[in-house]
Structure 1
Amino acid sequence: MSIAFLAADTAVAREARERLIARYGEAGLDKAKTIVALGGDGFMLETQHRLLGSNRPVYGMNCGSVGFLMNEYREEGLAERIAASIPSVLHPLRMQATTVIGGEAEALAINEVSLLREQRQAAKIRISVDGTVRLPELICDGVLVSTPAGSTAYNLSAHGPIVPLSANLLPLTPISAFRPRRWRGALLPGQSDVLFEVLEPEKRPVAAVADYTEVRDVLTVRVREDRTVSLTLLFDADHSLSERIIAEQFTA
């Protein structure tokens, strides 16, 4: 069994890694065919970013709190569980941002790209989709574009819709919208090219965040799904990611 074990920086995760290595052995990270991530959802995102471009599947076991992207932690039968697991292939969002002073930044997001006000003033943002202005001015605390897998994360907390993996849709969700007050967001085709333009950037500065990569004082932010990049998560057959997303919609 060619596995590398990665653990979050917590006592629970580190101790779990030591027990699993003692039981199953370990291949080096550069030689392993499967990566087992021990931690919570945040560590799964960190692991996926670390492995971008390697095309190796990641099987997570929850040693954190929520663990939506993780399987149940059990030490027995790990090889059999991995062999019988169901793969979920994800494509991240690519964020391209320009700053007020002319800087440029690019990052990938597995969960979401969010724009957030930096100070007490509400942000003013113009939103275009595929070259057409759809919302001339959104006054808000922020706005985000989510992947289907990320629709149960920050997007859900902001009252955005949960999207099944097979839907090929991207939720566009405002964060505490003031004007238009009744706008609750949109569901966009997966191939959409979304452009955010910050209005009054000196008076109302805005930061852009792709998962945990933050760019301050942005002027424009372009977001689109990058199908050239694939990430594979492995889930136990009785609790696949698609099933979790469906079940989450019926959770009170």
Structure 2
Amino acid sequence: MISWPFSSCTRNVALGSSSTTVPGNSRVSSLAIKILRCRARGCAASSRVALAPEAGNCKAWWTRARRRPTLGGLWGETPLAWDRIHFAASDAADAQAARRDLVRRYGQTPPADADVIVALGGDGFMLHTLHDTIHLKTPVYGMNRGTVGFLMNDYAEDGLRERLEAAEHYVIHPLKMRATTVHGLTTESLAINEVSLLRATYQASRLRILVDGKERLPMLICDGIIVATPAGSTAYNLSAHGPILPIEAEMMALTPVAAFRPRRWRGALLPRSAHVTIEVLDPAKRPVLAVADSTEVRQVATVEVAFHNAVEIELMFDNGHGLSERLLREQFS
């Protein structure tokens, strides 16, 4: 048994006889983290799970339980039934029609009370949904009603609760961008895919790159530079010929966009603990803008980027089609 304290209460979880190592950014860690997370959800929440005797009257919300061989037959308590679903849809006609059909069939729960949020649209809407609901710490399951749909599951109206029951869970951490403009104004924003710096005029940007306070490139002449997460490594980063990172990789990708000098520099792979600082050289003559997913800051002078380990985002994928498999498959496409 593992005893995990949450303020005045305790959750006990049986892990079997074998010891279990739980790495970061993996399917196993997703389950372990969510099981050992206590969230106040009111009296109704405690009636939907069977709590250990030591739990007392503490109210808790646990993620949907399902047996995983990697945890040695983990779950003995009564799992949630995914009966509280919130459906969110993009403005596209197909997404709106799907939302109406699904709400009619499964009902609609406010996002703050939902067991899961189902996003209907494309990858852009998925990112929008993740940003909008990040404070809720509720898992998000996407169904493709858009175009590319790398982060989405196939759309089907039938058997949704069964798909949620069998889904693979992944916990990812976003990047945190701190951008300071030439006027001294500071903007902080999270990026699930990437932080990018781009030239704002016809002239190439000139950037100085520091990692953990140490200068690594005194001058990079380029159209821009990208700092990408593993989850976002198949997006803009891949289009700029950056590497695809496995979701389990404890690193970030630093990828130039159309580098002119040094001409042969193709970027770097940095540990997830790295703190990247990018200084804009001559910003008055060669202005640069910074973008964290969809948050744009113009006339930046300095941009700092690092993983925000305190923020967790949980994604759900159909069994056998998880994020690890998608990233691996993309490398052979």
Q: TM-score, normalised by structure 2?
A: 0.75
Greater per-residue strand proportion:
1
Report the Cα distance in structure 2 between the residues aligned to 1:28 and 1:91, rounded to whole angstroms.
25
Taking the TM superposition and a 5 Å limit, the aligned residue runs for 1:60-139 are 60-139=142-221
Deviations 1:83-118 (A, max 9, x none): 110011110000001100111111000000000000
Do structure 1's residue 207 and structure 2's residue 289 form an aligned pair?
yes
For 2:91, the equivalent position in structure 1 comes to 9
For 2:326, the equivalent position in structure 1 comes to 244
Do structure 1's residue 187 and structure 2's residue 305 form an aligned pair?
no
Which residue of 202, 211, 226 corresponds with 1:144? Answer: 226
> Which amino acid letter does the alignment assign opposite residue 147 of structure 2?
S
Q: Which protein shows a greater Rg?
A: 2
Helix, strand or coil at the partner of 2:232:
helix
Do structure 1's residue 167 and structure 2's residue 249 form an aligned pair?
yes
> Which amino acid letter does the alignment assign opposite residue 203 of structure 1?
K
Which residue of 92, 101, 117 corresponds with 1:19? Answer: 101
Q: Which has the higher contact order (CA 8 A, sep 6+)?
A: 1
> Which amino acid letter does the alignment assign opposite residue 109 of structure 1?
A
Question: Once the 2 structures are TM-superposed, how far is the Cα of residue 25 of structure 1 from its aligned partner?
Answer: 1.2
- Unpaired runs of 5+ residues, structure 2, are 1-82
| RMSD between aligned residues | 0.5
For 1:59, the equivalent position in structure 2 comes to 141
Which residue of 312, 325, 329 corresponds with 1:230? Answer: 312
Report the Cα distance in structure 1 between the residues aligned to 2:312 and 2:112, rounded to whole angstroms.
18
Do structure 1's residue 31 and structure 2's residue 127 form an aligned pair?
no
For 1:217, the equivalent position in structure 2 comes to 299
Aligned residues: 251
Report the Cα distance in structure 1 between the residues aligned to 2:113 and 2:253, rounded to whole angstroms.
37
Contact 2:112/2:136, CA 8 A, preserved across alignment: no
Question: Once the 2 structures are TM-superposed, how far is the Cα of residue 30 of structure 1 from its aligned partner?
Answer: 2.1
Question: Once the 2 structures are TM-superposed, how far is the Cα of residue 31 of structure 1 from its aligned partner?
Answer: 1.2
Report the Cα distance in structure 2 between the residues aligned to 1:216 and 1:57, rounded to whole angstroms.
33
Question: Once the 2 structures are TM-superposed, how far is the Cα of residue 28 of structure 1 from its aligned partner?
Answer: 1.8
Which residue of 41, 54, 62 corresponds with 2:123? Answer: 41
Q: Percent identity?
A: 60
Question: Once the 2 structures are TM-superposed, how far is the Cα of residue 37 of structure 1 from its aligned partner?
Answer: 0.2
Report the Cα distance in structure 2 between the residues aligned to 1:238 and 1:90, rounded to whole angstroms.
18
> Which amino acid letter does the alignment assign opposite residue 261 of structure 2?
R
Report the Cα distance in structure 1 between the residues aligned to 2:142 and 2:115, rounded to whole angstroms.
14
Report the Cα distance in structure 2 between the residues aligned to 1:24 and 1:51, rounded to whole angstroms.
20
Q: TM-score, normalised by structure 1?
A: 0.99
For 2:57, the equivalent position in structure 1 comes to none
Helix, strand or coil at the partner of 1:152:
coil
Helix, strand or coil at the partner of 2:110:
coil
- Unpaired runs of 5+ residues, structure 1, are none
Report the Cα distance in structure 2 between the residues aligned to 1:214 and 1:189, rounded to whole angstroms.
25
Question: Once the 2 structures are TM-superposed, how far is the Cα of residue 202 of structure 1 from its aligned partner?
Answer: 0.3
Report the Cα distance in structure 1 between the residues aligned to 2:191 and 2:211, rounded to whole angstroms.
19
Contact 2:229/2:252, CA 8 A, preserved across alignment: yes
Report the Cα distance in structure 2 between the residues aligned to 1:28 and 1:230, rounded to whole angstroms.
21
> Which amino acid letter does the alignment assign opposite residue 134 of structure 1?
R
Report the Cα distance in structure 1 between the residues aligned to 2:167 and 2:324, rounded to whole angstroms.
13
